[in-house]
Structure 1
């Protein structure tokens, strides 16, 4: 008989093994890792199993997962029954169960693992998606039910853990709306047990710690969302907070209802790391709405191959406004029957173009434009050493953003104060 006082919000979790996956997300100090460790010990005392504990870097186990498990063994008065070996790190149980520790920074070490029926990935958001899928292949046993426990502090919605277990807008895949989890606190669906926790769920925390978390609200809203609220989101200041995605048919219908739509095409050039990005745009000047309804996005394409794939523009005679830094490429396309010219670039044009896009009341993107969505919906500013945003630099190189800049060359969005505008159709 083992008696141990635990946080009430984790009581059901400790003994629920009904699903293959158990995903725990929470803020700082919520005690999620503590209860995962306790759950493992209780299960391995009950059944003879081999459990694997994984972090991205092997050496971080010693001061985190291994230390936590060792502390729990002592706290439960089991140090005479469970041996905690430090070299290599391992826990051995009297019934033959054992807990072993591995790091994804040493993938070769995973190949020698056999009959692992439980895997705990601590700080799973730090592990690469390929590593997660590799671990799924290592989870196997001829008789025992298989379980994978994943624990993490929330990160950006661009992280694989959010896309896999919640939603991936790029491929329009929805498993669970994370807001439903924040509201219900625990959800079971698709063979996954979801658990959300915050510092409020840890009754053993001092009030001073929670007060410290609350202070983050004043100086770091992103960290406050992660640490205090335990919620996923976009890290940083969004460049285009008015960006939204709508079904393609709905976007095309809205464009058809614009009285005098301004149609534009923009193109950014790329080859190796960069991409050839082409976008078709429609502007509702009166409502100050920008629609993005078509995209082309490829790299490692020679100009002749790209020209073949963009053949339709020769037929439609649409003017393509392209990156003027590539005059030879523009000349090639013109010689091959395309209407193309360079967009104006000047010192400060990046900032000016960014401000132009921000003046639209809405930027509505077709659900068909997957790369535009991937780049622009979560797009955030780069932050300088002084902690302030850099208004013309971003955390990624958004090629579709550049294509939109070029496409809108010569067009100005009227500002909210009713200033003068120029509109080139």
Structure 2
């Protein structure tokens, strides 16, 4: 199937009549507990465009929450999936084996930071990868405690929602939560006072003091951090912070884990976000962009840590599904061969100055931040740092209704994050920024 025309086209209101009909069916048949950003139904997608059932061409600045980095129908991915489906769809890698799973592991072992011997385990979802990184770390260290940060997001399972910071909608009413999960303050430069170097030191000192005095470093199995906090509001830690935490972990026999499920695989302008800080984690989790839209996740890291769990202790029915693995081999090839991290840097070069020009004195935009194709605007009441979720929602609604799909985020719900496919055309990106700029102009 050919890629859709790479142009924003509005044939109806958004959502259109056919989407509205399907949404009525969805409301009756599907659990209302699942939210939706924009109630349109997609018929085809590719590059930077989503085509809905009414024929509208929407510019995609969401990538299925940073999943379709190579586009929603990259030719290499779709062809690899087609060939694999014709051969077989599943055998269970714990029952019989297939080469594509080994190929994914080999590629991740080579791409992830660190020149030590590595091994990889494959799973299905990001939350499952985090669950398993906890299991691996606890087995390796013989310790129980897990340390995460405020503003963190790690998933929706019992353990991972415990590790996630934001209460509603992720945790409200779902307790009691998993034990032995501790939360340290996250450096949030926009909302902390002082020079970035001082903020990095203050945040590290608080984490180290909390671990030492309240938990006991000898009880901590792992410190798990997103190098850039996505759902928390695309919060970029001050330079040096991650390196300080990683060194502290090494000194105390604690496994340092980089949760790169959203930020990894080219999204920030490097293959992994930790590379910007020169930090080498013991273990690293990937998912989202890994298989070009198919469910696949991974834990990769030091071979001695990865092999600490006895045989049979890790796995799952769909872990390393062969169709997802075929897609992942193709997606990883595309990321490297087409230099998509470089495309992410180009997206930042185009978009960030445009967004920054909308901020400033008297603006509802308090800060523009992020790296590569992981960018955000934080909305506040003008002249203050008081979160303004209503303003973020108004601008997002303007963009969505004018054919530019955006996502809101942030602990306070006041952030619009931009996560376009790394293959988006520059003309499309410019058009999308024009719409966002007009949306900001609607704020009183």
Q: Relative CO higher for 1 or 2, CA cutoff 8 Å, sep ≥ 6?
A: 2
Q: TM-score normalized by structure 2?
A: 0.28
TM-score calculated relative to the size of structure 1: 0.29
Larger radius of gyration: 1
Higher helix proportion: 2
